């Protein structure tokens, strides 16, 4: 996995709390720089947002400026990491955002005028060009925005693939089933009574806002999403797909023309819905998603939302999609808008750093956020 970067401290022992993608990317950068890592996870393996998402490295939707800079760097890192940890199945698939009205096309035209459009590898395609790029598209299509920098990984495989590559270094230890009850300078204590010693502590709690009292996380809020997985589709999709309601959701589309979009449909408004559709490595489709912000969240998932999402996917593909094999909800932690930085960082005490609040950017941005930590802490 490489040797220590120039100027870093050699042979540190890094304690990482949290086995999700963000914590594991911190482990990746620490080990790559020649350090020892002990990573603690409260479950047998990550079971929250890390494995309950689309597996999208989503450059196209990010806000211009710092957020896009982070996403582009993360995209570079994902491709590098994917070569070393092939089990995460990195694919440079790109994406198409499908639109059907003049008002939506006007939004895309203004997005194409943004200074970073070329960096994102954006192209505005007419219907014929979009179908040439993605033959699976149906007839319900006016135009599409292509983003060549978007990519796909397999979210349920990512943690294991990263840990397998880390373990091969001989400098990494994963300790599942450990709930952290205390962290202080140079130490972490778990619920089994074990004390772990290190030179630095990094805590990546995800949507767990009560960890260590939760005072540093009081300004964050959580979002709950519903998604579904189908049986394998009988044709391959070359790209990830999004629909026109993405224009209301992703910050890159916050251009003057967005105010001219018609009111969303009742279902879109009720479920704060947009369509994302990604084909998994086994041929199945991950389809979503909805957004709920008011806690306590419902313990169930709503069938109406899934019916609406299925219908949208079938309109875009112009065919009946396979049966649903599983449904789930995921919860992530995010910062209130406007977001000053992709992540929320806190120093709990000397040498103890807490990093969370990436929201829907977690799978996309985690390699770059972890790299920033490594540089700031002089690993």
Range of the domain at 202: 1-91+152-219+339-379
pTM: 0.95
Residue 48 reports pLDDT greater than 70? yes
The mean pLDDT of 68-79, rounded to a whole number, is 98
60 and 149 Cβ atoms separated by less than 8 Å: yes
168 and 309 in one domain? no
Of the candidates 162, 165, 126, the one whose C-alpha atom is nearest the C-alpha of residue 146 is 126
- Per-residue pLDDT of 31-41, as tens digits, reads 999 999 999 99
Residue with the larger pLDDT of the pair 217 and 29: 29
Q: Which of 334, 352, 369 is the last residue of a domain?
A: 334
- What totals of helices (H) and strands (E) does the chain contain, helices first? 9, 19
pLDDT band at 11 (very low <50, low <70, confident <90, very high): confident
183 and 79, same structural domain?
Answer: yes
Structural domains counted in the chain: 2
Residues 255 and 315 in one domain: yes
Residues 191 and 330 in one domain: no
Do 80 and 100 fall into the same domain?
no
Q: CA nearest 66: which of 251, 342, 355, 321? A: 342
Residues 15 and 86 in one domain: yes
Residues 187 and 322 occupy one common structural domain: no
Give the 3-state secondary structure of 320-351: CCCCEEEEEEEEEEECCCCCCCCCEEEEEECC
Instruction: Render pLDDT for 203-231 as a digit per residue (tens, 0 to 9).
Output: 999 999 988 877 788 889 999 999 999 99
The two beta strands, 352-356 and 200-203, are parallel
> Domain check: are 77 and 181 in the same one?
yes
The CATH number assigned to the domain holding 313 equals: 3.30.9.10
Query: Is 214 found in the same domain as 226?
Result: no
Supply the CATH number for residue 191's domain.
Answer: 3.50.50.60
pLDDT digits (tens, 9 = 90+) for 249-304: 999 999 999 999 999 999 999 999 999 999 999 999 999 999 999 999 999 999 99
| Average pLDDT across the chain, whole number | 95
- Give per-residue pLDDT as tens, 58-72: 999 999 999 999 999
Same domain assignment for residues 304 and 376: no
Same domain for 3 and 37, yes or no, is yes
Please tell me whether residues 31 and 67 are part of one structural domain.
Answer: yes
Residues 6+ positions from 105 with CB-CB distance below 8 Å: 99, 124, 142, 143
Strand order through the sheet with 187-190: 180-184, 187-190, 195-197
Q: What is the pLDDT of residues 179-189, one digit of tens each?
A: 999 999 999 99
CA distance 83 to 98: 31
């Amino acid at each position: 996995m490489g040797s220590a970067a120039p100027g870093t401290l050699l042979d540190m022992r890094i304690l990482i709390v949290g086995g999700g993608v963000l914590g594991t990317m911190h482990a990746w950068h620490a080990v790559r720089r020649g350090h020892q890592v002990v990573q603690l996870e409260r479950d047998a393996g990550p079971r929250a947002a890390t494995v309950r998402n689309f597996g999208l490295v989503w450059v196209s939707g990010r806000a211009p400026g710092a957020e896009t800079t982070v996403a582009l760097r993360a995209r570079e890192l994902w491709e590098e990491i994917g070569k070393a940890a092939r089990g995460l199945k990195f694919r440079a698939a790109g994406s198409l955002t499908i639109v059907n009205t003049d008002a939506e096309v006007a939004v895309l035209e203004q997005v194409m005028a943004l200074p970073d459009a070329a960096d994102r590898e954006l192209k505005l395609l007419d219907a014929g060009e979009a179908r040439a790029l993605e033959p699976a598209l149906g007839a319900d299509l006016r135009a599409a925005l292509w983003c060549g920098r978007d990519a796909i990984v397999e979210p349920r495989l990512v943690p294991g693939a990263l840990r397998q590559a880390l373990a091969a270094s001989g400098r990494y230890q994963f300790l599942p089933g450990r709930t952290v009850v205390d962290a202080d300078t140079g130490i972490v204590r778990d619920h089994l009574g074990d004390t772990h010693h290190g030179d630095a502590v990094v805590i990546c709690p995800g949507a767990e806002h009560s960890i260590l009292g939760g005072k540093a996380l009081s300004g964050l809020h959580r979002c709950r999403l519903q998604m579904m997985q189908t049986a394998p589709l009988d044709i391959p999709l070359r790209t990830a797909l999004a629909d026109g309601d993405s224009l209301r959701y992703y910050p890159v589309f916050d251009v003057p023309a967005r105010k001219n979009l018609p009111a969303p449909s009742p279902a879109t408004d009720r479920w704060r819905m947009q369509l994302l559709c990604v084909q998994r490595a086994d041929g199945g489709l991950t389809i979503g998603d909805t957004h709920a912000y008011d806690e306590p969240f419902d313990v169930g998932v709503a069938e109406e939302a899934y019916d609406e999402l299925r219908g949208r996917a079938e309109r875009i593909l112009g065919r009946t999609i396979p049966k649903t094999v599983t449904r789930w909800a995921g919860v992530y932690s995010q910062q209130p808008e406007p977001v000053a930085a992709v992540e929320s960082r806190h120093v709990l005490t000397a040498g103890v750093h807490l990093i969370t609040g990436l929201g829907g950017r977690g799978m996309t941005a985690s390699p770059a956020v972890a790299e920033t930590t490594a540089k700031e802490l002089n690993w």
